[in-house]
Amino acid sequence: AQTVTQSQPEMSVQEAETVTLSCTYDTSESDYYLFWYKQPPSRQMILVIRQEAYKQQNATENRFSVNFQKAAKSFSLKISDSQLGDAAMYFCAYRSANFGNEKLTFGTGTRLTIIP
């Protein structure tokens, strides 16, 4: 079974600064997808960024980028130029690439606070 670990329950960052959230995972599969989801206080989960395991290039989405280290099974999220709207719970998630498997395995989350 796959597991996802987020070792930072809480993080804080000054507005406009950069913060990195950590995530490690364990799997015996070679092909899979990794995601970072954001859950603001309104509680709707929103996809921040995704990474396909077969792609070596790290994914980026505007101010959000990942550092994907497949051998180390590490998938960290970097948020640049932090904004107040970035305050939320961030969940790292794993999904198998096997057809028909839509199940997401989530980490325990990191609560990010933005300090004005």
Partner 1 sequence: KAGVTQTPRYLIKTRGQQVTLSCSPISGHRSVSWYQQTPGQGLQFLFEYFSETQRNKGNFPGRFSGRQFSNSRSEMNVSTLELGDSALYLCASSSGTGAAGELFFGEGSRLTVL
110 and 4 Cβ atoms separated by less than 8 Å: no
Instruction: Report whether 78 contacts 20 (CB < 8 A).
Output: yes
Q: State which residue, 16 or 97, has the beta carbon closest to partner 1.
A: 97
- Candidates 5, 9, 61, 103: give the one binding partner 1 (CB under 8 A): 103
Positive or negative torsion for Cα 68, 79, 10, 43: negative
Q: Give whichever of 78 and 95 is closer to partner 1, judged by the CB atom.
A: 95
Please give the Cα distance from 51 to 21 (Å, whole number).
15
Report CA 89 to chain centroid distance, whole Å: 10
Closest to partner 1 by CB, 17 or 31? 31
Torsion sign, CA atoms 11, 89, 96, 103: positive
- x-or-dash string of contact with partner 1, 43-82, rule CB under 8 A: xxxxx--x-x------------------------------
Residue from 91, 94, 110, 114 in contact with partner 1 (CB under 8 A)? 91
Among 15, 108, 113, 115, contact with partner 1 (rule: CB under 8 A): 108
Which positions touch partner 1 (CB under 8 A)? 33, 37, 42-47, 50, 52, 91, 95, 97, 99-109
